[in-house]
């Protein structure tokens, strides 16, 4: 998955609070009695834990499908240590990509969700750096006119 845009988290931007439903919404048929809100939520307080080390990126491609769709906006935190299984933004030989990181004894692998893509093996000769851990993927389901 290729990175196509990069955005820093803006300091001093006014939050936008929207209604938050008090209960979880079932994926079946919702109860009409639960159609009320009790509070509001500023989505940035939910998505961002550390403003100073967080950024957004937009991605394209299908190597991480179905977990991340082409055109998704990712929330990435540079301060997190990448654990095996995390999705990371990695700089490999001067190219940014998004993959799942896996550790095996003394080896590091970058794995695509889409099995049509090969696993990248990091060798001592690979120019490799983790740029951050993906904490959220915002996939767009409806295109706006």
List active site positions: 63, 99
The values of phi and psi at residue 136, to 5°, are -145, 150
Helix spans in the chain (H): 43-47
* 87/72 Cα distance (integer angstroms): 14
Question: Judging by beta carbons within 10 Å of its beta carbon (0-12, 13-18, 19+), is residue 71 exposed, middle or buried?
Answer: middle
């Amino acid at each position: 998955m290729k990175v196509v845009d990069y955005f820093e988290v803006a300091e001093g931007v006014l939050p936008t609070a929207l209604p938050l439903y008090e209960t979880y919404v079932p994926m079946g048929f919702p109860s009409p009695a639960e159609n009320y809100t009790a509070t509001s939520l500023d989505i940035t307080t939910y998505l961002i834990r550390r403003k100073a080390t967080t950024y957004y990126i937009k991605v394209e491609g299908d190597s991480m499908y179905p977990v991340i769709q082409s055109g998704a906006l990712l929330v990435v935190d540079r301060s997190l240590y990448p654990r095996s299984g995390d999705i990371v933004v990695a700089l490999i030989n001067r190219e940014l990509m998004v993959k799942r990181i896996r550790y095996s004894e003394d080896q590091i692998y970058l794995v695509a969700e889409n099995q049509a893509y090969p696993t990248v093996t990091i060798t001592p000769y690979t120019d490799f750096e983790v740029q951050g851990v993906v904490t959220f993927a915002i996939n767009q389901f409806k295109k706006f006119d």
